A and B are shown apart, each in its own frame.
Chain A
Amino acid sequence: MKARWISGVAIVNIIFWIGSYLAYSSVDSIVRDSHNRVMSAGLDSAISELNERYPEELPPPGSVLLAQIMRRHASDLGETSRMNVVQRKGGACQVVNQSFIKEINDSKGVIPCTKLMLEAFLLGESDSYHSKSFYGEDVHSNLRRIQRFLKTSGDKRSYVLITETFTSEVRGEVNKLFFKIIVGVIGVFVLSVGFGWWGYKKARQQRKTAMENKATLQNVTSGIIRVNADREIVSISPYMLDMFGYEEESEIVGRCANMLFPEEHLEKDISSFNRLYLGQGTDEDRKITLEGKRKDGTQFPLKITRQIVNFPEGWQMLKVLDDLTDEYAQRARIERQVASMKRIGYMFRHDVANHMTPVQTAINFMKKTGKYSDKAISLASRESTNALMLLKSLSEQSRLAEQDIQDLVIESIDLNKLISDVKPEGIKLEMSDMGSIECNTGLLQSAYRNMFENAQKYAEVDPVAKVYREGDDLIFEDNAGGFACVDGQYDQKEADRMMSPRERGRVDVPGSGLGLFNIKTSVETHGWTFHHESKCGKSTKWIIKTK
């Protein structure tokens, strides 16, 4: 860019100087023509006078003749004239203005007699010339001064007085020409400066834009890559390196773009790539979603927006790559939250009402019949308790739904203390050393609290909970007679039903129907999984797999 700007200014300057030279030459030529024309007129006049006065001989001694010629030097503009009075021994006189003489000599055929006459003047004793110059306001005043000079000097020789001056005609022409030259020169100068300034500003703006683009490119969180028709990577943006886990541009640039995609996604990329290059691409080809492959071989979702662009190096494909990992995680998180909130909303609308309807019916029954009924009291009591437990669980669920593992405070906690803290009265705890774990304290407390409550609620003997650790697995083993047992046998369908919200193990046992669901949600929010091993009639082993 800098070179272009310098070239532009240089070209303008060259144009300026050429223009100036041409303008000067043009004016010079016109002035010269004008000078010659006026000079000829002046000579004509002088020679006419000579011929008239001295038709056949040289001027008599002591005579003074006047001839006018024009000067063309701009520095002598004005009314000032210079007179060269040349004294010649032997009574003749001569002009010593060499340029004039040369012009007289050059004016072949203009006035032959004049030439002859002047040549005759010049043939005298040139080494004894006496010359004096007079300067004055006008020709005639100078002439008078010369005549006085000749008179007082007693010189009886004849002179030809040649004056050089400007006529108003030439002066006007010259003025106009010089005005044009000046205007032209100023115009060219202004243009030159303007163009130079414009070029400078443009170059500066382009430089600024280039710097901004570079800064943008360095900060943009999209990868930008150029690929030629051979799928060779021509250039990449800095973010591309981070995105694909590389450290140096040289690890990518110059290599085939296939290295950025796993084998199974190459076909998708290449086919749409080819269609775009052939001008047959659709919007689907311009925007595709596929997996990218990092340097370490791991894969991640990518959105690629592509366009064929005519770069100075030729037609190439410009790709903008966006890592969708965060977007997918965010979307999954929102979907989870929406599903949770919908489930909670549904349970508020239906399940709370389902609990309250029997309560209301039981109360109405006693009110209308006026009788105390154990059955109605029991029903109202149990269902109102269940409704309260459901509300409590729903509250916990809504809190869980609002959270996600990214938002949770994860800290290293002492599992022994956490479990001991949430253990309710009335259940025996047999715990081996659980060590510590990275988790959200509130969520894990909720999970263990629910496991303890279930163990206690469903136990038909004195409830006992054995808590221990097997590698990365956290085990909670109860003695509540097994889980999901139908006719003494473990039933997978029953287990699935029990794991879903709103399902309770036994209707005669108070509960929200959300206990197991809460445990599962708390565990899975950590990215862990929740499993069980049921021994019908005996116990259930609840397993939290942290890896």
Chain B
Amino acid sequence: MDNKDKVSSEHILLDDQAAFHEAFDLAAMMLRIEDYEMYSFSQDLLEKLPPEANSYPRYLFIDWNLPGSDVVKGPLLIKLRQELEKIIPPPVPFPKIYVLSTSSNIEELKEAEEAGADGWIVKTDLEVVLEVWRDERNLTDEFKLWKV
């Protein structure tokens, strides 16, 4: 799926861990989510977003520990948002951004919220937590933590 020319899916996974791509594949199969694409680097994603299109991804799952972001995770998220804002013109709905992490550290959650994330998904028991997320994702606009 990484080789498509343009992003056309509703769900986007941005994670540099290849094994997690495979795990996401299996979880998506279990949850019958079919419209998703997976990327390892944010630049790859940005390059494949269509300019001035009518539709864009609705949900972005972004690994909190993106390559090179061991120290500054929030700032990188802000930068990604800014890049996306340049590409996605209003009034097209801006995609919801969910952070993926094995941690649920309160300070990191706060940093993610301040950086513009819409929620935080703890990626243990992946398909279970994704199922809960899918059921609840439209219930609130407030920053939310999903964990099992």
Contact = CB atoms under 8 A, between A and B. Distances in A.
Given A350-B65, A357-B126, A507 B29 contact: no
A364 B27 CA distance: 9
Contact of B19 (A349, A350, A358, A364): A358
Contacts of A362: 22-23, 26
A379 B124 contact: no
A373 B23 CA distance: 13
B123 interface: yes
Interface in A348-375: 349-350, 353-358, 360-362, 364-365, 368-369, 373, 375
A349 B103 contact: yes
B5 interface: no
B30 A353 contact: no
B102 to A, nearest CB: 4
Interface of A: 349-350, 353-358, 360-362, 364-365, 368-369, 373, 375-376, 379, 382-383, 386, 497, 507
Interface residues of B, number: 23
A349 B105 CA distance: 11
24 contacts: A349-B102, A350-B65, A350-B103, A355-B19, A356-B124, A357-B23, A358-B22, A360-B124, A360-B126, A361-B126, A362-B23, A364-B125, A364-B128, A365-B26, A365-B29, A365-B127, A369-B29, A369-B30, A375-B25, A379-B19, A379-B23, A379-B26, A383-B19, A507-B17
A382 B20 CA distance: 12
Contacts, number: 67
Nearest to B125: A360
Given A365-B27, A375-B25, A507-B18, 14 more contacts: A350-B102, A353-B102, A354-B20, A357-B102, A358-B19, A360-B124, A361-B26, A361-B126, A365-B26, A373-B26, A375-B26, A379-B19, A497-B68, A507-B17
Interface in B83-134: 101-103, 123-128
A369 B102 CA distance: 25
**8 nearest A-B residue pairs (beta carbon):** A353-B102, A358-B23, A507-B18, A361-B23, A365-B26, A358-B19, A361-B126, A379-B22
B26 to A, nearest CB: 4
B39 to A, nearest CB: 15
B51 interface: no
A410 to B, nearest CB: 33
Contacts of A354: 17, 19-20, 102
Interface string B8-22: 000000000111101
